[in-house]
């Protein structure tokens, strides 16, 4: 006999947390989560992945259909846990891949609470004290970075790309007033370095500027924007009658932790405004989604070094702060807490030095007749998102309180110290060379060569000598083979999992330089895991041979 809808509804209601406290059902909810966690925990081993990593059959996936009838929470949980098999464990000490951080327990609790009660940050009517938490996080982060928190304002958005999109959009409204209503009716350009995040192309295209109006400035050997080249191009653009929508300064490039000189960029911008008597000031957006965290060292006493970091680590931290301390000169700043903030995806904050800049994006109330009739906090009247979850806010707030400045200094100092140790080990071998030795972060980019190659001079030859093109290509392929071996071994639990970049940077004659990359973000990484990288490199050399 077919069940009535009421009978089915009774079963469905059991799948929701009870809106009124119910000890029995609340216990069932908690135990359901615990069973899921226990099942995932059973997938752990010495390897840096959960369970097994098997081939993915997308053809079968595309044939999936909605089932006719539902199933139990227990069956759903089992299926969901199965999807976790093969995932990388970012906190594993053998994981040194790209820029993904392991989340803390507190940040996970923040995500759980926000997910359970589902606040929408568009309006404080729908988010109440979580809206207050967003304002608190904005103020704390603004003060940490050196901004005037009374004047600054910010909103959490959909990732690092979202923070840059906000910055560039505000810049468009400054350069072309009313573009949000009338559209972009004249050319305007965006400047960024060739090491900046590729989202610059998406943003220029999606905002209607067109990627052809993106001007990419070459970088120096520090992987920072060449200021002279930027000044020359900016002068030329303004002199030709075009407008500058935005200048993206990168504070912590993804591959090498390159740090653009915001102070020098701002000086060029101000000189342009004064020289050409511009009616607007080109907007500087600091893409500091990685580098922001180093602000915790802005007031650290490096001379006394109370936390006892090694001298080489102190030098690296102080070197980064030389550039990070100038973040307040930017008009907007992007911050990712899901990178060196150790929260789950997504937790990203865009800050405006002058909170009034958000008014340039404001929509009239009559466009939103069913919202915002009351309340004090209504960011949904200017954000690109209508729905903004509270998960990122509570996760970030959790870690701000969990770590404090001291805790953040300790964890960042430790992972920078591990990166410096790795560089020492690599520089102590004849077959390896560190490419980003002038950068100060937790990422180390390096190349491996056969033993008969002089690695003291190879980097300059590869970068500058066109006659070395064929050799460069052979060594690119050699490094890919080294990486493939290390990656296979790491996934099997016999070593460390690294990343590969197909283009650390281009040579002077236009060839990409392939390199291996260690990005340390796990607090569990220690010296033995650093030494394992070098040992696997030597082992890979032996396995694939000495000939490129």
Q: Are 299 and 172 in the same domain? A: yes
For residue 229, being part of any structural domain is answered with: yes
pLDDT at 357: 98
- Residue 104 in domain: no
We report the CATH number of the domain holding residue 483 as: 3.90.1150.170
Residues pairing with 286 in the sheet: 249, 333
Per-residue pLDDT at 1: 67
Spell out where 56-166 has E strands.
153-157
CATH of the domain at 195: 3.40.640.10
Within 88-182, strands assigned E span 153-157
Closest CA to 329 of 265, 244, 243, 258: 265
Does residue 286 sit within a domain? yes
Could you tell me which of 276, 200, 262 has the C-alpha nearest to residue 234?
A: 276
Q: Are 340 and 254 in contact (CB under 8 A)?
A: no
Boundary (domain end) residue, out of 86, 110, 137: 86
457 with 339, same domain: the answer is no
Whether residues 327 and 258 fall in one domain: yes
Q: What tokens does 42 get?
A: 């059973």
Query: What 3-state class would DSSP assign to 481?
Result: helix
Which of helix, strand or coil describes residue 290?
coil
Residues 6+ apart with CB under 8 A from 417: 309, 310, 313
Coil/strand/helix, residue 160: helix
Based on the fold, state whether residues 318 and 204 are members of the same structural domain.
Answer: yes
- Domain end position, chosen among 314, 341, 367: 367
Say yes or no: 67 and 156 in one domain: no
- Calculate the CA 4 to chain-centre distance: 50
Supply the pLDDT for residue 376. Answer: 87
In a domain, 57, yes or no: yes
Report the C-alpha gap between 390 and 468 in whole angstroms: 53
Q: Scan for tokens 């000044």, then name that residue.
A: 231
Within a domain: residue 381?
no
pLDDT at 106: 98
Token pair 């989604």 in the structure block, residue: 289
Which tokens is 102 given? Answer: 């392991």
Total tally of structural domains belonging to the chain = 3
For 44, the domain range is 19-86
299 and 189 in one domain?
A: yes
447 and 307 housed in the same domain: no
Distance CA 322, CA 221 (A): 17
- Distances 491 to 98, 214, 298 between C-alpha atoms, Å: 15, 39, 38
Cα–Cα distance, 441 to 507 (Å, whole number): 23
Dihedral class, residue 47 (left if φ above 0, else alpha if ψ from -120 to 50, else beta): beta
Q: Of 306, 332, 367, which one is at a domain's C-terminal end?
A: 367
342 and 422 in a single domain? The answer is no
pLDDT digit string (tens) for the chain, length 548 residues: 678 999 999 999 999 999 999 999 999 999 999 999 999 999 999 899 999 999 999 999 999 999 999 999 999 999 999 999 999 999 999 999 988 999 999 999 999 999 999 999 999 999 999 999 999 999 999 999 999 999 999 999 999 999 999 999 999 999 999 999 999 999 999 999 999 999 999 999 999 999 999 999 999 989 999 999 999 999 999 999 999 999 999 999 988 999 999 999 999 999 999 999 999 999 999 999 999 999 999 999 999 999 999 999 999 999 999 999 999 999 999 999 999 999 999 999 999 999 999 999 999 888 988 888 888 889 999 999 999 999 999 999 999 999 999 999 999 999 999 999 999 999 999 999 999 999 999 999 999 999 989 888 888 999 999 999 999 999 999 999 999 999 999 988 888 999 999 999 999 999 999 999 999 999 999 999 999 999 999 999 988 876 66
Residue 427 lies in a domain: yes
pLDDT on residue 167: 98
Q: What is the DSSP string of 206-234?
A: HTTS-GGGEEEEPB-TTSSB-HHHHHHHH
**Residue 106: cis peptide before it, omega within 30 degrees of 0:** no
Within a domain: 71: yes
In terms of domains, do 319 and 420 share one? no
The per-residue pLDDT for range 162-203, each reduced to its tens digit, is 999 999 999 999 999 999 999 999 999 999 999 999 999 999
User: Is 446 part of any domain?
Assistant: yes
**278 shares a domain with 156:** yes
- The helix (run of H) or strand (run of E) holding residue 190 is strand 188-193
Q: Are 472 and 462 in contact, with CB atoms under 8 Å apart?
A: yes
- In this prediction, residue 546 carries a pLDDT of 64
Same-domain check for residues 252 and 358: yes
Gyration radius of the chain over CA positions: 26
Q: Are residues 288 and 437 in the same domain?
A: no
What pairing do the DSSP bridges indicate for beta strands 214-217 and 188-193? Answer: parallel
Q: What is the enclosing helix (H) or strand (E) of 336?
A: strand 332-336
Q: Are 302 and 315 in contact (CB under 8 A)?
A: no
DSSP state for residue 2 in the 8-state scheme:
P
Cα separation, 294 vs 289, whole angstroms: 11
């Amino acid at each position: 006999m077919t069940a009535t809808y009421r009978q089915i509804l009774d079963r469905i209601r059991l799948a929701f947390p009870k809106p009124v406290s119910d000890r029995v059902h609340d216990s069932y909810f908690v135990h359901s989560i615990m069973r899921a966690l226990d099942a995932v925990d059973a997938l752990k081993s010495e390897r840096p992945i959960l369970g097994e990593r098997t081939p993915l059959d997308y053809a079968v996936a595309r044939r999936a259909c909605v089932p006719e009838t539902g199933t139990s929470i227990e069956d759903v949980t089992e299926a969901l846990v199965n999807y976790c098999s093969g995932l990388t464990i970012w906190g594993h000490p053998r994981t040194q891949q790209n820029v993904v951080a392991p989340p803390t327990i507190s940040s996970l609790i923040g995500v759980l609470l926000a997910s359970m009660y589902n606040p929408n940050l568009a309006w404080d009517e729908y988010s109440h004290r979580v809206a207050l938490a967003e304002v608190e996080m904005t103020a704390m982060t603004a003060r940490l970075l050196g901004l005037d928190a009374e004047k600054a304002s910010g909103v959490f958005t959909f990732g690092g790309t979202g923070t840059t999109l906000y910055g560039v959009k505000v810049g468009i409204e400054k350069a072309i007033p009313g573009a949000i209503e009338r559209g972009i009716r004249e050319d305007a350009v965006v400047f960024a370095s060739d090491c900046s995040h590729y989202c610059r192309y998406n943003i220029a295209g999606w905002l209607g500027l067109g990627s052809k109006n993106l001007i990419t400035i070459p970088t120096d050997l520090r992987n920072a924007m060449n200021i002279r080249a930027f000044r020359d191009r900016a002068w030329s653009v303004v002199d030709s009658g075009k407008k500058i929508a935005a200048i993206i300064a990168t504070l912590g490039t993804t591959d090498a932790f390159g740090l653009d000189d915001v102070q020098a960029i701002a000086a060029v911008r101000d000189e342009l405004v004064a020289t050409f008597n511009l009616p607007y000031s080109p907007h500087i957006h600091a893409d500091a989604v990685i580098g922001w965290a180093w602000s915790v060292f802005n007031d650290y006493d490096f001379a006394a070094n109370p936390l006892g970091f090694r001298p080489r680590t102190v030098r690296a931290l102080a070197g980064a702060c030389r550039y990070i301390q100038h973040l307040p000169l930017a008009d907007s700043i992007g911050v990712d807490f899901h990178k060196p903030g150790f929260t789950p995806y997504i937790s990203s904050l865009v800050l405006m030095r002058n909170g009034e800049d958000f008014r340039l994006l404001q929509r009239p109330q009559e466009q939103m007749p069913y919202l915002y009739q009351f309340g004090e906090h209504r960011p949904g009247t200017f954000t690109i998102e209508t729905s903004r979850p509270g998960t990122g806010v509570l996760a970030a707030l959790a870690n701000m309180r969990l770590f404090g400045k001291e805790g953040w200094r300790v964890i960042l100092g430790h992972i920078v110290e591990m990166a410096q140790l790795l560089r020492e080990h690599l520089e102590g071998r004849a077959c390896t060379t560190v490419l980003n030795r002038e950068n100060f972060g937790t990422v180390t980019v390096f190349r491996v060569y056969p033993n008969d190659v002089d690695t003291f001079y190879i980097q300059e030859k590869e970068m500058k000598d066109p006659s070395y093109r064929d050799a460069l290509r052979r060594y690119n392929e050699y490094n890919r083979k080294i990486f493939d071996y290390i990656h296979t071994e790491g996934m099997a639990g016999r070593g460390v999992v690294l990343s590969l970049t197909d283009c650390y940077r281009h040579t002077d004659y236009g060839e990409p330089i392939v390199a291996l990359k260690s990005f340390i973000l796990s607090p569990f990484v220690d010296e033995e895991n650093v030494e394992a990288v070098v040992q696997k490199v030597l082992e890979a050399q032996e396995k694939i041979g000495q000939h490129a």
